[in-house]
């Protein structure tokens, strides 16, 4: 049995779709797949993703 995580947009009541999004932070950019509503364009970022990415980028900065 496959357990697939599905997110529904609160506003539109439609399933959010995977989308490749480019982020930029401290003059660095990176791409990541996020869930995005195809109707209103709202994206869903997990806090884990955001904090994980940001600390990774900060690690790179300190590495200089
Ligand atoms: Zn929506």
CA–CA gap between residue 49 and residue 40 (Å, rounded): 22
CA–CA gap between residue 37 and residue 44 (Å, rounded): 8
pLDDT digits (tens, 9 = 90+) for 30-55: 887 888 899 998 887 766 666 766 66
Contacts of 55 (CB under 8 A, 6+ apart): none
Distance of CA 64 from the midpoint of ligand 1 (Å) = 41
DSSP annotation of 10: T
Whether the predicted pLDDT of 18 surpasses 60: yes
Tokens read off for 24: 């930029």
Distance of CA 6 from the midpoint of ligand 1 (Å) = 14
Distance of CA 43 from the midpoint of ligand 1 (Å) = 9
Whether the predicted pLDDT of 9 surpasses 70: yes
């Amino acid at each position: 049995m496959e357990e697939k995580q599905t997110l529904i947009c609160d506003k539109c009541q439609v399933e959010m779709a995977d989308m490749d999004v480019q982020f930029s932070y401290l003059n660095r950019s990176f791409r990541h797949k996020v869930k995005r509503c195809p109707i209103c364009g709202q994206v869903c970022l997990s806090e884990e993703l955001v904090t994980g990415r940001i600390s990774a980028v900060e690690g790179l900065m300190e590495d200089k």
